[in-house]
């Protein structure tokens, strides 16, 4: 049985350790632009989706999505790292804490979702606080995501970063 988000009963083909290796390995984006497009009818919405390339990823399909519901408001920014079209990492802002019982499971502020698609329990989607508090815009957010997920792009490749 093939694992897909619509068929979660099948086993995801990569372990939590392999997912961590995908996140930590050096990845690149093809081209000199991260092309943003409006993804909703809202005037300020932007989204860029691009494949990632890594020498050691084998047949896995790695993808990065960066989007903003309103590019003028950093708290609406969101990033997704997926493997074979399944979200395994995410970065976003939480305005109000979420509790399960007496324990906060999603903190206020910026956090990284650390997802194991093979673990359907609450532990399969951990929300770890991260220091992204001084974001100056969507480009700055994307650069911080690149650094966190070891994505070499633009300036590090000797290219000028262009965001459109």
Please give, one letter per residue, the 3-state secondary structure of the chain: CCCECCECCCCCCCCHHHHHHHHHCCEEECCCEECCECCCCCCCCEEEEEEEECCCCCCCCEEEEEEECCCCCHHHEEEEEEECCEEEEEEEEECCCEEECCEEEECCEEEEEEECCCCCCHHHEEEEECCCCCCCCHHHHHHHHHHHCCEECHHHHCCCCEEC
Instruction: Classify 81 as helix, strand or coil.
Output: strand
Q: What is the 3-state secondary structure (H, E, C) of 93-126?
A: EECCCEEECCEEEECCEEEEEEECCCCCCHHHEE
**Mean pLDDT, range 104-112, rounded to an integer:** 83
Confidence of residue 160 (pLDDT cuts 50, 70, 90): very low
DSSP classification of residue 24: H
Quick: pLDDT tens for 31-88. 656 777 877 666 788 889 999 999 888 889 999 999 999 989 999 999 999 999 999 9
Percent of the chain with pLDDT over 90: 50
Whether the pLDDT of residue 92 is over 50: the answer is yes
């Amino acid at each position: 049985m093939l694992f897909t988000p619509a068929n979660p009963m099948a086993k995801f083909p990569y372990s939590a350790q392999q997912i961590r290796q995908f996140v930590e390995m050096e990845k690149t984006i093809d081209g000199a632009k991260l092309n943003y497009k409006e993804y909703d009818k809202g005037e300020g919405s932007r989204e860029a989706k691009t494949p990632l390339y890594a020498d050691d990823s084998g047949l896995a399909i790695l993808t990065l999505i960066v989007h903003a519901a309103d590019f003028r408001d950093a708290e609406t920014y969101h990033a997704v790292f997926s493997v074979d079209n399944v979200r395994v990492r995410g970065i976003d802002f939480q305005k109000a804490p979420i509790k399960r019982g007496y324990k906060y499971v999603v903190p206020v502020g910026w956090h990284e979702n650390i997802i194991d698609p093979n673990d359907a329990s609450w532990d399969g989607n951990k929300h770890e606080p991260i220091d992204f508090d001084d974001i100056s815009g969507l480009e700055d957010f994307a650069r911080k995501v690149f650094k966190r997920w070891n994505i070499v792009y633009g300036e590090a490749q000797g290219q000028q970063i262009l965001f459109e």
